[in-house]
Amino acid sequence: MSYSLQDAIYGSQYGKYIYHRMRFFLVVSLTTLAINGIEIFLIRQHLTKNVIIPVIAMRIYIGIASLGWWGTLEMMREYIRSRVYFSEKKLTSEAIGHWMLISLIAALLFIFVPFRFFMSKKQIMLPDEQLIFNGYLIAYVLHGLLSFIFQTYRSGVYAIRRVYRPLGWVLGPGIISFMLMLFLWKIIGLVGLPIAFILGEFIDTGIRCHFTRKIYKQLKLDIKLWSGWSALRLFIQSLSLKNLFQTWFAGTLTNFINIILLVYLSYVKNQPTLLIYSFVIRQIYHAYAHWGEIFYFDLKKLCSDGYTAFYNGFLKKLFPLTFIISTIFWLIANIFSLIFDMQNFWTHVIVIGIFFQLTSIFSILVVHSFCQSRFIDISLASCLGMEIFFMFHSFSVDSTFTNSIAVFFGVSTMVAFLWQKRFAANHSVECVRPQSIYNMIIRIEESKKGYQILKIRTNPKMRGHTLEAFMSKVSIEIDQEGWICPLKTNEFLLIEKRPKLSHKILNGFKKDMIKSCITIQVHDKISCFDVIQKEVSKEILKNPFYLQMQECSAKLSAEWISELFKKEFPGEISTSLSDSDTLINQEQKAEIYKSIEKFFMLPLSQLRNSHFISSLSYIKSPKVFIIKKSKDNYKKTLAWNTFIHYTNFSYFSASGYEEGTSITLKHSKYLHLGQFLE
């Protein structure tokens, strides 16, 4: 039986959903680890350190480069989400094709440039060793090339939905690669190991491409690698070099242990047992270290419309899982410690246990930070961790205790830095998806300030990439000082906090406005409620249930709203509030509404885990609506709650309250609603 994210957040089936997501991961990780273990055993028995060290270094380097590229692709995924939001399939297809070309260039840069360095290591090898080394070198170069290109191809779909593969198709490539490895080893010796490795990679990539292509067909996206020089030039102009560097740097530094191990190899080259043992621990670490990526799609989805209230709750449910995962792989590492007969066995057991637990927590914190666009935080945490590690470390082979302390303090610093920021506000970066109208309402509602509004229109016939380049420049200028809210494909609002920012934008982009037929209309500084009423209400929701409400006047009676609620949500609860003498004196309309909303919701906060709660904040006839959470009524309930938000905004915007207005809130049955919900 399968479980969805909605089952988890609405049906409180977190445990079943997490198990559903993790069941394939554990099977695949353990199978891959077993295959790698056999390969390492064969290498240890038949190869010298002259071949082992460059081979291990190549594999580690490819892992670092691939993870850095995965971080860079966060820009692509955000771009795809924003295009899908506008239902622009042509631009989406072109963008994926452009990123595929960029991935090829990046692969040539990061994979083929180090090729010369590794080739220089052949001089100290015997002829037979050179043949094996050449095989591994070619295999890893092709593996890196496939990794870069396929990651890009898959990210075009993964930004929108998951790519499902049956368990047999997930395990199949690894098992086939293992059988090929044993078969070729018996026939042609160790030269067969790199051949089996790359054949397995080709099979695995081919299967992944097959299932990914099926999703592309379902989405009706026709990927074109080449759309002309002008389209490519405009697309590159729309990219932010600052954000490219941030995402790449953050992705690279998350591979903290690999970077340290890459440096460490040169110091243990005369200790074959310690060298192989370090590589085994690296393989075990690699098998579980990125388990948090399994929930990347879920956490990213919870950042979108209507789900944000569930984000922190879902994240908290994932933290206990870190202990279970780290314990499983810690036990496997202890088995290898016994096999290699390591000195100070119990020291290794304790140190590796603590290390695995910390890195398991770090894994989910990194994915959480990526979902929140906190690339600078990831980079700072990793840099601090490595700085502390290199302060305490000793690359002497006999300094096991010193190095253990260095690793402990380094990883602890990284985890502590991201842990204290885990529930901080979401960062705004240039590549982030434009704010949806629903989230825009929430953000403006929570603010105490008025805003200056720039309404930006473009020629509908202009090329989309030019608009993207312009919007990217605007986003860089406003940085943390405003938001972009789309109204139509060629029209959006720029809501800024600083009154003088609009002049900077207007003066800085006159050439762009002339070339691209972009016009900017600067509104006066007005209250946030008026912005919502005048600009956003026409495009607030394309929901059939909501459209019938738009036909009514902005100021609806509480009785009409109650009747509509009973009709659309039979069996759910609505109640009127009366008989109270609570007095609130506020200075701004925004503060009035915010105080009333908080006053209504506080006694019902305990019900938020199982019910949707919204309040109609009319002064004379306030009402509370309570709807039991269900995945079946989610979209309809979202439309209802947004309608109530809009009605409250319209009410306070049109009521003409002045500063210092005193309001009396009324309730009596309010505190006894629990009896109706049992």
pLDDT in tens, 286-305: 777 778 888 888 888 777 65
- Alpha helices (H) in 108-166, listed in sequence order: 115-119, 127-158
pLDDT band at 271 (very low <50, low <70, confident <90, very high): low
Q: What is the span of the domain harbouring residue 633?
A: 541-677
If asked whether residues 473 and 562 sit together in one domain, one would say no
Bridge partner residues of 614 (DSSP): 625
Q: What pLDDT is attached to residue 579?
A: 41
Q: Which position has the higher pLDDT, 466 or 45? A: 45
If asked whether residues 199 and 245 sit together in one domain, one would say no
**Which of 212, 239, 266 is the last residue in one of the domains?**
239
**Which of 239, 255, 280 is the last residue in one of the domains?**
239
**Which of 190, 221, 239 is the last residue in one of the domains?**
239
- Alpha helices (H) in 220-255, listed in sequence order: 229-238, 241-253
Mean pLDDT of 556-560: 72
Checking if the pLDDT of 360 tops 80, the result is yes
pLDDT band at 452 (very low <50, low <70, confident <90, very high): low
pLDDT tens column, 86-103: 556 777 888 888 888 888
> CA-CA distance, 483 to 659, in Å (whole number)?
27
If asked whether residues 508 and 576 sit together in one domain, one would say no
If asked whether residues 586 and 508 sit together in one domain, one would say no
If asked whether residues 192 and 259 sit together in one domain, one would say no
pLDDT tens column, 488-544: 555 666 666 555 555 555 555 544 444 444 454 444 333 333 444 344 344 433 444
If asked whether residues 96 and 228 sit together in one domain, one would say yes
pLDDT band at 207 (very low <50, low <70, confident <90, very high): very high
Q: What pLDDT is attached to residue 283?
A: 77
Q: What is the DSSP string of 557-575?
A: -HHHHHHHHHHHSTT-EEE
CATH classification of the domain holding 506: 3.30.70.270
Query: 499 is written with which tokens?
Result: 């009154």
Distance of CA 272 to the CA centre of its chain: 40
Checking if the pLDDT of 430 tops 60, the result is no
Residue type for 625, please?
F
Whether pTM > 0.75 for this model: the answer is: no
Bridge partner residues of 454 (DSSP): 494, 522
Checking if the pLDDT of 277 tops 80, the result is no
What total of structural domains would you count in the chain? 4
If asked whether residues 66 and 87 sit together in one domain, one would say yes
Quickly count: other Cβ atoms within 10 Å of residue 264's Cβ. 17
If asked whether residues 560 and 528 sit together in one domain, one would say no
Sorted by sequence, the CB contacts under 8 Å of residue 213 that are 6+ apart come out as: none
First to last CA, the chain: 30
If asked whether residues 457 and 557 sit together in one domain, one would say no
Q: Give me the count of residues in the chain.
A: 678
Q: Which position has the higher pLDDT, 421 or 475? A: 421
- Which H helix or E strand runs over 494? strand 491-496
Which letter, b or e, does each residue of 312-327 get, where b requires 16 or more Cβ atoms within 10 Å of its Cβ? eebbebbeebbeebbe
